[in-house]
Structure 1
Amino acid sequence: MSFLPTVDLLTCSTVNATWEGEARKHVRVRISIRLTGYAGYPKFEEYVTLMSVRGNYHERLHTCYRYFEEFQQFLSKLDKLASNSRGKIKHLFLPFIMQGGPEFRRFFEILHLFGHNLSALELSLCHHYHYTDTLVTTTIADMSPFLTGLSSRPPLPSITKLSICSWSVAKNATGLTVAKLGPLFPNVSTLEYFDPDRNAIEMQLIANPFPRLSALRIMDIEYTAP
């Protein structure tokens, strides 16, 4: 069934139980599931609960840190997902909160739980959110603890493709972060930047922190004034 378009695969899943099982194997490889709770996609906690019973995880997952939840809540769900799906997820999109402390250390401990089949990682850099009934703010604290913490984390050698999205972080924060990511991902051969600032690109071109890099992609988002 690998040669069939995705639309036809979905049609095959209605033929009988055998066809459904085979078709869904290919669908889980091709389709990225967004755990946002919007546009028909499941909420993170709903997916984790369902898959803990079924076990047939999608290979490509897009997780979401909602600004009105505590980061500890997000990490608890991520921990459960990583523990239950070990070795099954190959491509993962994660919010990357730029702060130090125990939550930061736990984030990387959880990444290791996904296992050696995790080869592609997308990190959406963001600052810490604070939510009230009427206002959402972010904390842009001293980045020294965060950057020092990056240097002390054990590496993730299974990651060969790394994508970094930095549209929502303070100026120069991306470049400082990228400089510390190389030792964490020593086998990255493909690197993607989404909406980077100039500092990050200069850091990449002048002092490439990824020794095995063979492909670099830069995508800048264009905004059109109304």
Structure 2
Amino acid sequence: MPPLFDKPIGQLEPDSPSALHDVQEALHAHAARIESEDCSGTALLVGAELLRWHEDMHSHPTLKLLGGFVVDDPGISNHHVLLTAAPLAGAVLYLNHDGDTRVVFGSVEAFLEATRQARARGGDVEELHPRISPSATDQEGLTALIRRLLESPEDEDLAVQVIPSLDLLDLDLLRESATHENFFISEAVAMEIEKRPDEKLREIAVLCAEHKHPQAAKAGKRALAVEERRRFEHAGPSQS
């Protein structure tokens, strides 16, 4: 399968002819790849259906931003989306219309393997989603993208969908996000700290807990509680 499109952030606009061409090229490469896959008993899209869903969904804000196209249709209005644009090129995102949208597989191969496993066990791919999203390999590009989104009131909500792909090492970005006026952004940071508690993230959790919106503050307090528990367990029983 040819390598997926991977241009630096800002080099192409989502609606530019070059960007659209590259997404379509990746789409056709995936269509060719999926022809050799046994798709029976799965929700994978093939052939004309793959192209039809791309036509129907290509203007979705998340798909436009990340150069994505839908690769399955489980019939529940949620879809897995293969991303083709930096900084998440090659990853598979779960587009959840009524929940958390985030990257759930680091590659299309990992997604297809989960599809096979779900079929074998008679379950759904969603049941195999990892609790923690795989970290993007291009953290510098992801940081630049999030900062760009945070500066745009029209696009800032999209930052919530890619924050789970951070490795949580850029404390400056985390501080900026934790104190952002949009409480969904602060909440998203707190939720990731709750999943990945660390002493270095304690100050960020405090900022989230102090957010003026109660929903973000509640998430921050949960993250703090998890970190406190981690510290206690790490310290072990006190010596008398």
Question: What TM-score comes out, normalization by structure 2 length?
Answer: 0.33
Point out the structure with the larger strand share. 1
Q: Which has the higher helix share?
A: 2
- Using structure 1 for the length normalisation, give the TM-score: 0.34
